[in-house]
């Protein structure tokens, strides 16, 4: 859905866009109906071309990956095997829009995909809901690129991806942007819990603020920048995901607070991917590795394992007092 929303935005801005998906039946439906069922009727422009065969997509000068985090390495391994001449076809950079940490390796996607693909990998992230981007509502994102991409190329990409309705800000903090995007999903689960338990706006504000501090500690420990945490990828995305009604992770927390199981919550949300659930344990492992205390993430992990929601809140409130 997110990849389709971005494709719509860029096609409306005049670009020719090839939209590849791994499920032939869904791509055929998109090509026939010119509508995505979850994008509130937004129509696919004529210069957006859905396809299940990636051959034409490989010819594009820029690749943008919107595959779920946990599925991305295997998906790109399979795609690489389908490319008849990988070295000649690869662009000079790949951008991904996924927001998670790999469960097995505890890597961000740029770390996993760069050696796999042999090209620099950057990330697009920020406070954006897919349906609003598809409807041309004003939005802003940050594009983080590694230093192996030249400043001139970075400016060209920024200019090409920005539209009248989508502002693109440039960053070099790839790891920081990726970590912010992953961790805010975990905190959104906690925000949904607070809301569903009726704990009030004070509790939600405190959770968001202390959650931001939790993100900042891990980002700093892993070499990220404070400006990233306080910008679109950090504070901006956390505020949206922790309060916005479209947030899947926030809804997951609400369902768990109501006593529903993970399986029941996933069924209620139509089987949509909730990156926060699959990222929580990996985030805790990174916290342990880097010596960073992550109490909210720890309680979300317990909640996902079936812990009592009210007890999770109680444990956070009873932690030893300390300076901010």
What is the per-residue pLDDT across 287-298, written as a single tens digit (0 to 9) for each?
999 999 999 999
Residues with catalytic roles:
184
Quick: pLDDT tens for 236-278: 999 999 998 888 889 998 998 898 888 888 888 877 777 878 8
Tokens of 300: 């979300």
List of domains in the chain: 2-174 (3.40.50.720), 176-317 (1.10.1040.10)
Angle between helix axes 275-290 and 174-196 (nearest 10 degrees) is 120
Sign of the CA dihedral running 223, 179, 239, 324: negative
What is the rounded average pLDDT of the residues 17-43? 89
pLDDT digits (tens, 9 = 90+) for 82-123: 887 776 678 899 999 999 999 999 999 999 999 999 999 999
| The model scores a pTM over 0.85 | yes
The residue among 221, 239, 233, 235 whose CA lies nearest residue 293 is 221
- Tally helices (H) and strands (E) across the chain: 16, 7
The predicted-structure confidence for 169-211, as pLDDT tens digits, reads as follows 999 999 999 999 999 999 999 999 999 999 999 988 999 999 9
How do 121-125 and 139-144 pair as beta strands?
Answer: antiparallel
pLDDT for 88? 66
Strand extents, DSSP E, 145-234: 166-171
């Amino acid at each position: 859905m997110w990849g389709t929303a971005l494709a719509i935005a860029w096609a409306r801005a005049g670009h020719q866009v090839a939209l590849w998906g791994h499920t032939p039946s869904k791509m055929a439906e998109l090509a026939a109906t010119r509508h995505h069922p979850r994008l509130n009727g937004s129509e696919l422009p004529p210069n957006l071309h859905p396809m299940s065969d990636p051959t034409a997509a490989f010819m594009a000068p820029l690749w943008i990956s919107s595959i779920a985090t946990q599925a991305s390495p295997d998906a790109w391994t399979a795609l690489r095997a389908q490319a008849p001449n990988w070295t000649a076809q690869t662009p000079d950079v790949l951008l991904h829009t996924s927001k998670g940490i790999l469960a097995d390796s505890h890597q961000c996607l740029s770390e996993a995909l760069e050696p796999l693909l042999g090209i620099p990998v950057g990330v697009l992230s920020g406070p954006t809901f897919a349906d609003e981007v598809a409807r041309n509502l004003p939005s802003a994102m940050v594009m983080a690129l590694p230093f192996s991409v030249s400043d001139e190329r970075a400016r060209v990409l920024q200019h090409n991806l920005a539209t009248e309705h989508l502002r693109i800000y440039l960053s070099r903090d790839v790891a920081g942007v990726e970590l912010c995007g992953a961790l805010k999903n975990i905190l959104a689960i906690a925000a949904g819990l607070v809301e569903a338990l009726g704990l009030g706006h004070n509790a939600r504000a405190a959770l968001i603020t202390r959650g931001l501090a939790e993100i900042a500690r891990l980002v700093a420990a892993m070499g990220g920048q404070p400006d990233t945490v306080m910008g679109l990828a950090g504070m901006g995305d956390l505020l949206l995901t922790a309060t916005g009604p479209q947030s899947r992770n926030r809804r997951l927390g609400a369902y768990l607070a109501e006593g529903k199981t993970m399986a029941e919550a996933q069924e209620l949300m139509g089987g949509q991917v909730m990156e926060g659930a699959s990222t929580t344990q990996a985030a805790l492992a990174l916290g342990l590795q880097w010596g960073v205390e992550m109490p909210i993430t720890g309680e979300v992990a317990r909640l996902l394992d079936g812990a009592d929601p009210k007890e999770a809140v109680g444990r956070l409130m009873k932690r030893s007092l300390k300076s901010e």
